Amino acid sequence: MPYIKIHQDKAADKTALTAVCPFKAIEVADNTLSINAGCRMCRICVKKFSDVFEYVEDDTAPAVDKSQWKGIAVVAEIEEGNIHPVTFELLGKARELAKKVNYPVYCLMIGHEITSQAEKILQYDADEVFVYDQEELKYFRIEPYTAVLEDFIKNVKPSSILIGGTQTGRSLAPRAAARFRTGLTADCTILDISENTDLDQIRPAYGGNIMAHINTPKHRPQFATVRYKIFPIPAMTKPHGIIRHCTLNPAALASRITILNMEEKSREKGIEDAEVIIVAGRGVRKQEDLAMLQELADLLNGRLASTRAVVEAGWIDAKNQIGLSGRTVKPKLIITCGVSGAIQFVAGMNGAEKIIAINTDPNAQIFKVAHIGICGDIYQIVPKLIEQIKNQKVEV
């Protein structure tokens, strides 16, 4: 791993040197500078005091033989016996990446009585589907599911593994990555691959102020999780792949978790499933004004959602928040009202078919992604829009 080397003989003004770090990671003890665990490797110290601090790439760790690892694998998400749509989205992205480096596309299915679903996976251009269908895998438990993923990786050796950013995926991916002592990037918004098969994992960082490009050049496999509705679902193709049935010794599937009873939770339709969404942003002056946007949403048979600021103000439930710290949506129509367009919000909705933005600031970032931009006050525009819709409905 890279590290920052300190040239103690050149460290004269230690007060200035410790003050340069915004994370207070530079310390002085016995007149000697050191870097503690708070270091974020931002390299500000290197840029400002290059004679004292030196960024060193540690090349002592042996690099993995990349030729032994081939293929892009997708871990299927099975929900109550059905395949979660995020699986199909990842299969489409996996095929796109695989074409660049001439790799096969694999899919791993884990569960009980799921074999019948494997044929559906083949319709999304998978070359091989590996099915672990055992009674011990009926319910998600982290130990047996990790054991299956580990067995799959050891036998198949895929170069990259894509996992849905669901509750299950967010639990499974880090544990599997830790077992192979390799990298994992969570909530990627863009994925690409280089000629040397390194996966370019791109996601917003530092509060959305930068887009971080993350690579795992010395280890395999490479792990990435992606949220639902980040990528489009590809068109189905004529199946050409094969299904491989795999089993694991029941002893390897042992778990310290015992499921005594299962009760089905009532499901409510979330904003992810809405075809029309009205979004409230900082431009909304007070909580009572959300009623105006709710009326617009009702007239369009849509849902009211918001940015993080509105949720933090306590005006709307967090399950209706759009963005990297909320939900990812891909409706047919989304109308943002008083939303500035921070990158973490845009990453959660820029896949919408039609984006209409209303904002008083002509330089608002939201206008860069909007298909239709309206520069104006939502308190003047939204009531007129509501009136127009009501009049049209009366005429019909």
pLDDT digits (tens, 9 = 90+) for 322-353: 998 889 999 999 999 999 998 889 988 988 99
Q: Is the pLDDT of residue 108 over 90?
A: yes
pLDDT one-digit tens code per residue, 153-199: 999 999 999 999 999 999 999 999 999 989 999 999 899 999 999 99
Kindly state the tokens that stand for 121.
């996976």
**168 and 275 assigned to the same domain:** no
**72 and 190 assigned to the same domain:** yes
307 located within any domain: yes
Share of the chain above pLDDT 70, in %: 96
Confidence of residue 392 (pLDDT cuts 50, 70, 90): confident
Q: Is the pLDDT of residue 396 over 90?
A: no
Q: List, in sequence order, every beta strand (DSSP E) within 265-389.
A: 276-280, 303-306, 333-337, 354-359, 372-375
260 located within any domain: no
**Could you tell me if 221 and 182 are in contact, meaning their C-beta atoms sit under 8 angstroms apart?**
yes
- Residue 158's pLDDT is 98
Confidence of residue 395 (pLDDT cuts 50, 70, 90): low
pLDDT one-digit tens code per residue, 53-74: 999 886 666 678 999 999 999 9
Confidence of residue 236 (pLDDT cuts 50, 70, 90): very high
- Residue 358's pLDDT is 97
**Could you tell me if 259 and 313 are in contact, meaning their C-beta atoms sit under 8 angstroms apart?**
no
Taking CB atoms within 8 Å and a gap of at least 24, the contacts of 304-308 are 304/277, 304/278, 304/279, 304/280, 305/271, 305/274, 305/277, 305/278, 305/279, 305/280, 305/329, 306/279, 306/280, 306/281, 307/279, 307/280, 307/281, 307/282, 307/339, 307/342, 307/345, 308/344, 308/345
Kindly state the tokens that stand for 64.
């993995």
Strand 276-280 to 333-337 pairing: parallel
pLDDT one-digit tens code per residue, 123-160: 999 999 999 999 999 999 999 999 999 999 999 999 99
DSSP 136: G
324 located within any domain: yes
CA–CA dist 93, 193 (Å, integer) = 11
**51 and 70 assigned to the same domain:** no
End-of-domain residue from the set 12, 31, 56: 56
Integer angstrom CA distances of residue 380 from 359, 369, 377, 385: 11, 23, 5, 9
- Residue 276's pLDDT is 96
**239 and 212 assigned to the same domain:** yes
Residue 48: partners with Cβ closer than 8 Å, 6 or more residues away? 20
Tell me the mean pLDDT in the region 298-317. Answer: 95
Confidence of residue 208 (pLDDT cuts 50, 70, 90): low
Residue 256: strand, helix, or coil: coil
**Could you tell me if 8 and 32 are in contact, meaning their C-beta atoms sit under 8 angstroms apart?**
yes
Tell me the mean pLDDT in the region 273-283. Answer: 95
Integer angstrom CA distances of residue 180 from 5, 30, 110, 329, 342: 28, 39, 19, 33, 36
- CATH for 208: 3.40.50.620
**225 and 297 assigned to the same domain:** no
List the alpha helices (DSSP H) in the chain. 14-19, 44-48, 85-101, 118-122, 142-156, 167-179, 290-299, 308-312, 343-346, 378-395
Domain that holds residue 285: 271-395
145 located within any domain: yes
What average pLDDT is seen over the chain? Answer: 92
**50 and 171 assigned to the same domain:** no
